[in-house]
Amino acid sequence: MREIELEIFESGCARHKVGEKYKYPEEIGKMCTWLVESAIPMIKVLRHDGTLGCTKTLPMKR
């Protein structure tokens, strides 16, 4: 399964600071509910080997 890491680029949340990185799902307890719920659609795409239009296509590690 693909490793997923979320990086905070901007934040309106007092809990998260720009530059923080979280591994999903290992560090889900460190993320606020809003962050997790807003990231779920993108995480689902990435977990099934999809790509996001806003990211560079990187070679897959299998």
Alpha carbons 31 and 3: distance in angstroms, whole number: 17
**1: pLDDT confidence band, cut at 50, 70 and 90?**
low
Task: Read off the pTM.
Answer: 0.72
Alpha carbons 21 and 35: distance in angstroms, whole number: 12
Digit-coded pLDDT (tens) for 12-60: 889 999 999 999 999 999 999 999 999 999 999 988 888 887 655 555 5
Report pLDDT for 60: 54
DSSP string, 14-52: SS--TT-EEEETTTGGGS-HHHHHHHHHHHHHHHTT---
- Of the candidates 36, 43, 40, 37, the one whose C-alpha atom is nearest the C-alpha of residue 2 is 43
